[in-house]
Amino acid sequence: MQWVDGRRVTTWMPVVVALGQSCTLGSSTRVPEPTQTTPSAETAASTARARASGSAEEAPATTQTTANVATVVVYSPSASTAQTSESSEEPDAVLPFRLVAQASEPLYLSSDQVGLAILGPGGWARRDDNRFVPDCLPYDSWLLSGAGRWLTVRLHAFSACPNSPQLWHLERSGWKLSRELKVHQMLTSPWRKGKTLAAEVPYRIGPPWGYTLRVLEGGHAPQPQASSHENYSGSRSACYTRLQEPRGMFAFETGEVMIVGASECPSGDHPPRVVIERWGRHGPSNVERLPLEDWRGSTAPTPDNIWLAGKLPNTDQTWLEQFDGFGWTLLPSPVSEEIVSLTWMDDARDDPSTLWLATQGGLFGVRDPIVALSAQDRPTSYALPDGCSEVTFIKYAAGALWLGCGGKLFTTDTQTEALTWPFSAMDTCPHVEAIESGGCGRNRRPDKEHQPPPRGLDFGF
């Protein structure tokens, strides 16, 4: 126990951090004077337990939003009680991973309303019962997540040299061209039943670029908040939208939508921060700035259980932010290494639920994460399977964990047959060759204006 600014503090010190305030996290944290009611440590812990038990409606919210700035309750561990997990030679447990696919280049897993699919060099394989069925893909393509099979052809995100990108759709007779794309970037997610929602950054001079939302199958889409800013001449200029550079999106069958952006326009005096624009089931959107300045990954099993991983300004440690339907809670990561991927496992056989965290060299499970992270409980470390030297993603889908390690894909599923890659059908794939229209010709210029999203942000995979 210690005293901070006249307040008695035990293991955890609730700190209200609003953007624009300055404070130092740790055992000597100075608790700033709150502008709103700050819950005690006991109240925060009981709130976490109430939310975890499903009685969130009766629990007081620990976060509030004022002037579009997300005010977050931070559970800051004292230096004497911090228990972040270090990578060790002896993991706590072993999972029954087995190799299900291997290729010379990285493999990715797609999981959506259609089912599971593996994307790899030269083609893809969709799961049918207990085996993956290989098939061809158009040249230079990328599978999108959605209510049906969609893919982009020759779309290179934020490239200054677009080469006639296209959107294709899988029909009974095969892949068919849907339309030409004039966008810097496209993110997709399954939405309402039978609908795929896409966030598109129009191809125009920028920044700012803004973004739009579109239903690929047709129909009404939510409208992002519009904005403008004062340009160099002092006149008003279009921001197009408040949220800039969408990096990720979550859409749900119940209608909720959340877009994660890299910045806000106009930014004013605020440094770049992660920006969230979210829609409920009805009504306009709400735009919030989070303390994170560098977003590393996310998982969103439900509209009231969304997790982001990222870094705070001037720090190297990864932090976690969780949205519970009421507001955002910022929690220190239980692992010292940088998180590259995370996923949520909510299985009837695993009660309570588990938040899985992957670093490049480790895999960790946090059971009942809200309570465990608030109490600074040590996560369970798991051994990586033989042959996995660097983790690229972890995903829970179809009742099993799927672990990507570059060109190797492992799973805890015991029924799915292993796939040999490359498969023989790739020799006769009718690839669609790149059309020599657009682009920058043979001597392609380096893209100095636009920057691609950070590695690992392969949404839907």
> Which tokens is 287 given?
């735009």
Q: What angle do CA 212, 215, 217 make, to 5 degrees?
A: 150
- Would you put residue 110 in left (φ > 0), alpha (ψ -120 to 50) or beta? beta
Q: What is the pLDDT of residues 377-399, one digit of tens each?
A: 999 999 999 999 999 999 999 99
Q: Which helix (H) or strand (E) holds 41?
A: helix 41-52
Average pLDDT over every residue of 61-77: 50
The answer to whether residue 340 scores a pLDDT higher than 50 is: yes
With tokens 């636009």, the residue in question is 450
Q: Band of the pLDDT at 428, cuts 50, 70, 90?
A: low
In CATH, what number does 93-428 get?
A: 2.130.10.10
Position 233 confidence tier, pLDDT thresholds 50, 70, 90: low
Chain centroid to CA 326? 19
Structure confidence at residue 217 as a pLDDT band (50, 70, 90): very high
Lowest mean pLDDT among 13-27, 199-213, 337-351: 13-27
For 182-191, write each residue's pLDDT tens digit.
999 999 999 9
Mean pLDDT lowest among 210-219, 237-246, 347-356: 347-356
Residue-level pLDDT at 121: 81
Say which range, 168-182, 295-309, 312-326, 420-434, has the weakest mean pLDDT: 420-434
Diameter of the chain measured on Cα atoms: 75
Q: How confident is the model at residue 269 (pLDDT cuts 50, 70, 90)?
A: low
Which of 33-37, 101-105, 278-282 has the least mean pLDDT?
Answer: 33-37
Q: Which residue has the higher pLDDT, 232 or 363?
A: 363
The answer, yes or no, to whether residue 458 has pLDDT greater than 70, is: no
Distance CA 330, CA 332 (A): 7
Instruction: Please count the residues of the chain.
Output: 461
Report, as an integer, the average pLDDT of 106-122.
Answer: 87
pLDDT-based confidence at residue 349 (cuts at 50, 70, 90)? low
What does the mean pLDDT of the chain come to? 77
Whole-angstrom distance, CA of residue 369 vs CA of residue 153: 39
In this model, does residue 214 exceed pLDDT 90?
A: yes
Asked whether the predicted pLDDT for residue 107 surpasses 60, the reply is yes
pLDDT of residue 430: 55
Asked if residues 118 and 109 have their Cβ atoms less than 8 Å apart, the reply is yes
CA distance 148 to 17: 42
In 51-204 the beta strands, taken as DSSP E runs, fall at: 64-66, 69-77, 93-94, 98-102, 108-111, 116-120, 123-128, 131-136, 141-144, 150-153, 166-171, 174-180, 183-190, 196-202
Q: For Cα atoms 247, 250, 255, give the angle at the middle one, nearest 5 degrees.
A: 140
Q: Please give the DSSP secondary-structure letter assigned to residue 58.
A: G
The Cβ-side half-sphere exposure at 131, using a 13 Å CA radius, reads 6
* 166 pLDDT tier (thresholds 50, 70, 90): very high
Q: Three-state DSSP class for 24? A: coil
Residues contacting 400, CB < 8 A, separation 6+: 411, 412, 413
Residue 253: other Cβ atoms inside 10 A: 14
Give the tokens for residue 158.
């934020």
Long-range contacts of 115-121 (CB under 8 A, 24+ apart): 115/398, 116/397, 116/398, 117/143, 117/149, 118/409, 118/419, 119/143, 119/461, 120/407, 120/421, 120/422, 121/421, 121/422
Q: Collect contacts of 226-230 with beta carbons under 8 A, ≥24 apart.
A: 227/265, 227/266, 228/266, 229/265, 229/266, 230/266
Q: With 80 as the cut, is the pLDDT of residue 210 above it?
A: yes
Q: Is the pLDDT of residue 228 over 70?
A: yes
Reply yes or no on whether the pLDDT at 147 is more than 80. Answer: yes
**Hey, what are 235's tokens?**
């006149």
Concatenate the DSSP letters of all residues of 273-330 into one string.
--EEEEE-SSS--EEEE-S-SEEEEEEEEETTEEEEEEE-TT--SEEEEEE-SS-EEE
State the first-to-last Cα distance of the chain, in angstroms, to the nearest integer. Answer: 46
CATH 2.130.10.10 residue window(s) in the chain: 93-428
Look up residue 128 and give its amino acid: D
What's the whole-number mean pLDDT along residues 319-328?
Answer: 94
| Average pLDDT of the segment spanning 166-194 | 91
What are the tens digits of pLDDT across the range 76-91?
544 333 445 554 568 8
pLDDT band, very low/low/confident/very high, at 75 (cuts 50, 70, 90):
low
Query: Which of these, 450, 446, 432, lies nearest to 164 by C-alpha position?
Result: 432
